[in-house]
Amino acid sequence: WVLTVTAQTPTNIAVIKYWGKRDENLILPINDSISVTLDPEHLCTTTSVAVSPSFDQDCMWLNGKEFSLAGGRYQRCLKEIRSRACDYVDEKKGIKITKKEWENLHVHIASYNNFPTAAGLASSAAGFACLVFALAKLMNVKDDLGTLSSIARQGSGSACRSLYGGFAKWIMGKNDNGSDSIAVQLADEKHWDDLVIVIAVVSSRQKETSSTTGMRETVETSMLIQHRAKEVVPKRIVEMEEAIKNRDFPSFSRLACADSNQFHAVCLDTLPPIFYMNDTIISCVEKWNRSEESPQVAYTFDAGPNAVLIARNRKAAALLLQRLLFFFPPHSDADLSSYVIGDKSI
Ligand code: DP6
């Protein structure tokens, strides 16, 4: 017999960024972060996991190509989920797997991203969240989403926020063993559904410095990062939670843009300096926001040149697309797509 489960998990974009770890193995961050989950239909990972007594080893395929599971991050997620597996019975198919038996059964994993891998669009976030969610369903894990988020976190930090729809917060936690470093949902996807997210994929090239390496170098060499983590982010987290709660777009936009800019400032303050973003879009949005009575669009960039723009409503999104076409005409390589706020993993 073969038992299969398929899950779909959207990616998330941080509006208050995670950058810097206090523990590299457990993936514990130096500050809290807040994100928006995107529309799962367009920007997601779909993962099928299968188990069978005839499988003689764990295997994985990513976008159709064999992918090594040897990395510590995959092993840690598999181990954590296996240790929480519960008895499984399917009378109709005559399948019975006890908690103990799960430990010796191997899994096959097939995962697809419907967006460029490692181009700064948080593909590892959707990937690990989906893997953990699918394995947990397969192995009949009964723990809540908070616990699953702490397992996904050990795959990739930003993954812990992707288990929730709407807006999520990753609480950095204080414990050395990471038990309190989990993600929680701040508001669901219906709470602020006026917002439209426009992503300008300017380049699908893999980013030059991975987030993991980039943030390690920042923590080791930047003087600004401690100020950011200790003084700036804690205040911004409180203000951002309030802005989301009240659907206050001017505050949301101010905080998201400022936090993206500060994240890229600490990247520049790193030795050697890291350059991720494209400043043309920032100038365009800043100019437009200043020419209106109140801001129309927020921008945020992760560890790559692709811009994530959050328009306050559909009208602003349509105008934004027109403006972006000026910079990236139809015959250019850029891909401009818009999305709504997404739902949780299914
Ligand atoms: C800029 O979660 O990819 O997107 O924990 O080392 O896997 P690791 O890093 P990752 O870093 C994401 C950084 C970011 C900001 C964010 O998503 O908060």
Q: Which of 169-183, 206-220, 289-303 has the least mean pLDDT?
A: 206-220
Q: How far apart are CA 248 and CA 259, in angstroms?
A: 17
CA 18 to centroid of ligand 1, rounded, Å: 6
CA 122 to centroid of ligand 1, rounded, Å: 7
The HSE-up count of residue 169 (CA atoms within 13 Å, CB side) is 19
Does the beta carbon of 303 sit less than 6 angstroms from any atom of ligand 1?
yes
CA 29 to centroid of ligand 1, rounded, Å: 10
- Could you identify the atom of ligand 1 that is nearest to the CA of residue 158? 2
pLDDT of 324 higher than 60: yes
pLDDT of 142 higher than 80: yes
Kind of pairing, strands 59-62 and 107-113?
parallel
pLDDT of 82 higher than 80: yes
Closest to 34 (Cα-Cα) out of 153, 151, 167, 145? 167
Q: Which residues, 6+ apart, have CB-to-CB distance to 206 below 8 Å?
A: 117, 118, 119
Q: Which residues, 6+ apart, have CB-to-CB distance to 329 below 8 Å?
A: none
Q: Name the token pair of 135.
A: 């394995």
Q: What is the pLDDT of residue 298?
A: 97
Q: ω into residue 40 within 30 of 0, thus cis?
A: no
Higher pLDDT, 200 or 196: 196
pLDDT of 23 higher than 90: yes
The HSE-up count of residue 15 (CA atoms within 13 Å, CB side) is 30
Token pair 């510590």: residue: 72
CB atoms within 10 A of CB 177: 10
- Could you identify the atom of ligand 1 that is nearest to the CA of residue 215? 6
Q: For residue 109, what are the β-bridge partners?
A: 49, 60
CA 125 to centroid of ligand 1, rounded, Å: 8
Q: For residue 307, what are the β-bridge partners?
A: 200, 301
pLDDT, tens digit (0-9, with 9 covering 90-100), for 199-237: 887 766 666 788 999 999 999 999 999 999 999 999 999
Categorize the per-residue pLDDT at 121 as very low, low, confident or very high, splitting at 50, 70 and 90: low
Closest to 302 (Cα-Cα) out of 237, 207, 223, 220? 207
Categorize the per-residue pLDDT at 340 as very low, low, confident or very high, splitting at 50, 70 and 90: low
Does the beta carbon of 27 sit less than 6 angstroms from any atom of ligand 1?
yes
Does the beta carbon of 6 sit less than 6 angstroms from any atom of ligand 1?
no
Mean per-residue pLDDT, 25-48: 92
CA 337 to centroid of ligand 1, rounded, Å: 22
Mean per-residue pLDDT, 178-184: 97
Residue nearest to atom 5 of ligand 1 (CA): 157
Does the beta carbon of 74 sit less than 6 angstroms from any atom of ligand 1?
no
In three state form, how does the secondary structure of the chain look?
Answer: CCEEEEEEEECEEEEECCCCEEECCCCEECCCEEEEEECCCCCEEEEEEEECCCCCCCEEEECCEEECCCCHHHHHHHHHHHHHCCCEEECCCCEEECHHHHCCCCEEEEEEECCCCCCCCCHHHHHHHHHHHHHHHHCCCCCCHHHHHHHHHCCCHHHHHHHCCCEEEECCCCCCCCCCCCEEEEECCCCCCCCEEEEEECCCCCCCCCHHHHHHHHHHHCCHHHHHHHHHHHHHHHHHHHHHHCCCHHHHHHHHHHHHHHHHHHHHCCCCCCCCCCHHHHHHHHHHHHHCCCCCEEEEECCCCCEEEEECCHHHHHHHHHHHHHHCCCCCCCEEEEECECCCCC
Does the beta carbon of 157 sit less than 6 angstroms from any atom of ligand 1?
yes
Percent of the chain at pLDDT > 90 equals 77
CA 36 to centroid of ligand 1, rounded, Å: 14
pLDDT of 118 higher than 50: no
Q: Name the token pair of 342.
A: 């997404």
Q: Residue 205, Cα to own-chain centre: how many angstroms?
A: 19
